[in-house]
Amino acid sequence: MVKIITDSTSDITQAEGASLGVTVVPLTVHFGSESYRDGIDLSKQEFYEKLAVAETLPTTSQVPIGEFDVLFQRFVDCGDEVVGIFISSEMSGTYQSAAVAREHVNTEKIHVVDSRTATFELALLVRLAVRYRDEGKSAGDIAAHITALIKRVRLIAVVDTLKYLKMSGRISTTTAFVGGLLGINPIIAIIGGKVESIGKTRGPKAGLSFIRDRVMSDPPDLNYPVAFGNSNAPEALRDTVVLFTESFGITDYFEEDIGLIVGTHVGPGAVGIAYIAKE
C-alpha cells in the first residue's frame, strides 16, 4: 500500500487527512513562551484569535527528524511505500527533516517531495497524490507526477490588511500607514518557494479583478481540481468561488482555510485561488 504524508502547513486538517487517507504531521507554533502543535493543540480559529492580539508574530518549529524516522520505519515495516509532500524548503526545514529521515531508514520505498509551496496550494498537490494512489499508481510514479506538476502550480491571493506584512518586515511602517489610509490591498503569490507581493489594488473587489485577469493570462487546466483558500474570511471566500467558477467554468474544486505559515504574514481576510496551469 502507498502511504501519503504531508505536514500541517498544507492546511489539511487531521479530520480531512483521516478521510483522505493522508497522515498530517504537525509543525509546532510558538506564541512567546507558549507552544502548540498545529492543528492538534491549536485550531485555525484559535490561531487567528491569538494572532489578533499578538504584539509580535508567532514562530514555528519544523517537524523533527526523529518523528519522521519513527513514522517512515513503521510504514516500511508494514510493507508500505511512502510519498511525503512537504512545505517549501524556502519556508521551513520540514522537507530537509524528512529527507534526512529517509536516509536513516535507507529504503527506495520512501519518496519525499519539496512542494515549493504551502497552504491550499500544497493541499492541491496532496489531493492529486491521493487521486493517483487511488488509481493504483506506485509511490515512485506518484512522486514523479507531483514533481512534474510543481512548475505548473499557481497560488494568487488578495490580502485584506497590511498590519501583518508590516509586522513581518515585508513592508515598512510608512508604507503600511499610507496604504491603510488609501485602502490598499496587496496581491501575493508563492513564487520560487516564497510568498511574494506581485501587485496592489484599492479595495478587495479590485483585488479579485486583478487576480481574475492574471488567471485569464495563465489559465487553469480543468483536467485538475482547483483550490480556493481564505484566512478567516468565509464571506469573501463565497464571493471568490462564485466569481471564478462562473468566469472559468470550474466545477471540480475544494476549499481550505489558510493556516499559520501564510496566515502569519497575511493575517485574516485574505482570499485566493490555487490551480494547475495549462501547459
Express each pLDDT in 173-192 by its tens digit. Answer: 433 333 343 457 888 889 99
Cell representation of residue 191: 513564487
Q: Pinpoint the residues of the chain covered by CATH 3.40.50.10170.
A: 2-150
**Which parts of the chain have pLDDT scores under 70?**
161-183
Residue 182 has what pLDDT? Answer: 42
Residue 183 has what pLDDT? Answer: 58
Q: Pinpoint the residues of the chain covered by CATH 3.30.1180.10.
A: 153-276
Confirm if 112 and 102 have CB atoms less than 8 A apart. yes
Residue 162 has what pLDDT? Answer: 62
Cell representation of residue 9: 502547513
Confirm if 182 and 202 have CB atoms less than 8 A apart. yes
Looking at domain 153-276, does it have CATH number 3.30.1180.10?
Answer: yes
Residue 176 has what pLDDT? Answer: 38
Q: Hey, which bits of the chain come out as E strands? A: 2-7, 22-25, 28-31, 34-37, 59-61, 81-86, 110-114, 153-158, 184-191, 194-202, 226-230, 253-257, 271-276
Residue 164 has what pLDDT? Answer: 62
Fold of 2-150: Rossmann fold (3.40.50)
Strands 110-114 and 81-86 come out as: parallel
Which pTM was predicted? Answer: 0.92
In angstroms, rounded to a whole number, what is the distance separating the alpha carbons of residues 212 and 172?
Answer: 28
Confirm if 33 and 59 have CB atoms less than 8 A apart. no
Residue 173 has what pLDDT? Answer: 42
Residue 167 has what pLDDT? Answer: 55
Residue 196 has what pLDDT? Answer: 82
What's the DSSP call for residue 230? Answer: E
